Structure 1
Amino acid sequence: MIKELRQLLASAIADAKAYDVPGLCRRLNLADGDDQEAFSSKFKYAHKRLMEVSAEQVVASTRQLVAEESHFQLSEQLAKIDEIGEPAVTTLTRRRLIALFEGRPLAREIDDLELIRSLWPIASLRAPHPSAEVSLEDYLHRHTIRNDDLTQRDVLETLGLLTCSRAQLFKFLAAVTAPDAFSGAEQVELAEKIDGLLRHDGYTLALAGRVSGSPYYAVRPAPTGSPADASISATLAAFDPTQVHARWTMAMERRASEPAGAITLARTLLEDVCKWILHQAGETWQEADDLPALYRKLAKVLKLAPDDHTEQVFKQILGSCQSVVESLGALRNKLSDAHSPGPKRARPQPRHAELAVNLAGAMATFLVATWEARKSDPAARTTAPGPSGTAGQKSA
């Protein structure tokens, strides 16, 4: 990458007038020389001096030149160097992102070329070889407007979407999901599809704000979750790897991207756990029972009601657990996607979803651990189901 940067920087310096090249090199902290050498070959003059300095100096000189004048290719190469060591967006993910635009425009509200011009200096970039056109803009105009013989995949691969820096890729994804590209349900649907693909590589296309009432998005590192996520996952997977653990996984994944849906899943997770443990304990419930009702029944089975204990500290803790469950139900009713939001309903934010999901996960883990402890306690009288789901014998 440094070798390529040397070539690009030497070419950029060679774009200057021959009599300006020595002064420009001095300004970029490169070795001095005479004008005659620069007049002989500007590129060789610059490249010779770049070969004499360290990689760090090449990068520093490039940054200085980019700060003075716009240069797309130099900026791209610097971005790729800066991104070394960070999670990559794989070629597979990039191909899948490109596939989202097969048979559809890059933008509905503006022309595709207008969107492309806002991201790439196509008027100054060379057309791919071999081509009769000089600039990339002329090439795209001929093959997408005059002849229409390039697919969207061809266009995006020609622009370098498979190999460009993550910064450039993320600018493109923000642009195609901006309200001046798409609007309404089509905008939201495209953003959700892009987000789902990026999450495989550790990134998320998240809501960044609103302009004139319309949402716009930006790519960010996907949240890694709380430190308890792994232990909660392990406990719930051991308890029930299908329904309960799957619900927890979906809730975690949606904390940042779909706060309302994550809050709904947080409550449903606790409902699942309560029903599963009540079933294993040989107890029944009504379909109409809400989360607080289910928890009260389970609290009796697990001896979690504050009145079941005499120590004040335990009464306070268990009373707080009951309050958490009731609050999760209230939060879900107010902020989740389970009901129509109406014009004045508060919109849930990722922090609300983080709170709800983390609380639900902690409570679910506590209930499962308490149930497992009571099953192994010979002094506790519980009813465990047999292999076929029938009630087993009570243990003394």
Structure 2
Amino acid sequence: MYLGSLGYVAQNELTVLKNIRRDVIVLNAYYDEIKVAWDDLKCENIINLYEPALLKALYKSIGHRFTAILLNLLNYRLDLIKRIIREYNIELIYANWGSNMIPLIKMLQNNLINIPIMYNFMTYPQNVYSWKVFLENWYCRKPIERLDGRIHASQNMYRYMSKRFDLKKHGLDMIVTPFFSEKYHYRKRLPLLSEKDGEPHLVYIGPLTSSRNWDDIRQEIYEIANEGIHIHLAETNVPLRKSPYIHFFPYFPLPQLINGSLATYMTQFDACIVLFNFKVCSCLDRFYTSFPSRFLFALNAGIPIVMPKGYLLTCEQFVNEHQIGFAYKNLTELKDKLNNFELMQEYRKNAIRKTVDFTYEKEFHKLEKLIKVLT
């Protein structure tokens, strides 16, 4: 049984999971009802756990985290989950992403659901403010220690959890890089924009929002543009000052991720830049341990990756190991390296050559091995 919210993470995992284990029941634990199956996945058994109207009202009044905890305390929908387990003869519960599903997992553990539970964290901790990270670790400690299988995105994440939780108490641990499926990869290479105007062009794949402070990177965008570096980002409702160096492209919905359209579009840029508003974050643990999706999307395109130095440690280690990009100390260094034709050509060649290895299919044998051990 796959337990999670049905966004691009679920789309990616189910794309591979369905090819290996065809008896997948998807339990949608998000407040938006999924009314139709995803045709490209041919996943008919999608069950909505919650009533959308009730959840939306709770989310709006007390927020996602407290809603999840409240539903756990009330054992909400426990009878439905037990019925699904019986009717479909569920052998394994697979949940994922951050600490989103931990309240639901905690409810199942407390009610002695005698089925192995495997959790793919991908991102942990999820919060970026010190007091929230403290509470997140406090709340998650027992359910994480009781998991039968824990999947970490990096060695740094495993070390982080080992220091805070007693992982040796119970369960097995495994490190699996959360690449996207090969279906997300580019289909063809587009001509570089920099070959037309002789100026560097960056693409930013990620949200730009003022509602979540650490995704409000407007100041960073202005500074990059002022340096004479073109930056391209998805269309947004957030107001931005006009500049000949700031460009927008249409939003790519889920179907255009899995058919390689976004990755193909990204091939025309010199590099993908990974940015957050680190200044507003009082705890950077999340960035030290995880691979943000805006980083992983660049691997699908086979283009170099750049980021400010000293924040995204796991990502820095990865690009240095594979020589597919760099971390910069300041914008002058960023522009100088982007204008270094031989350097960028080498990074691009490496990124293209290694794309074939950066796939979830290549990593999934590790998950399959753990699944077999647990079941």
Is the shorter-chain TM-score for this pair beyond 0.5, marking a shared fold?
A: no
Where is the helix percentage greater, Structure 1 or Structure 2? 1
- TM-score bin (small chain): under 0.3
TM-score, reference length from structure 2: 0.22
Where is the strand percentage greater, Structure 1 or Structure 2? 2
Using CA pairs below 8 Å that are at least 6 residues apart, which structure has the higher relative contact order?
A: 2
TM-score, reference length from structure 1: 0.21
Name the larger-Rg structure. Answer: 1
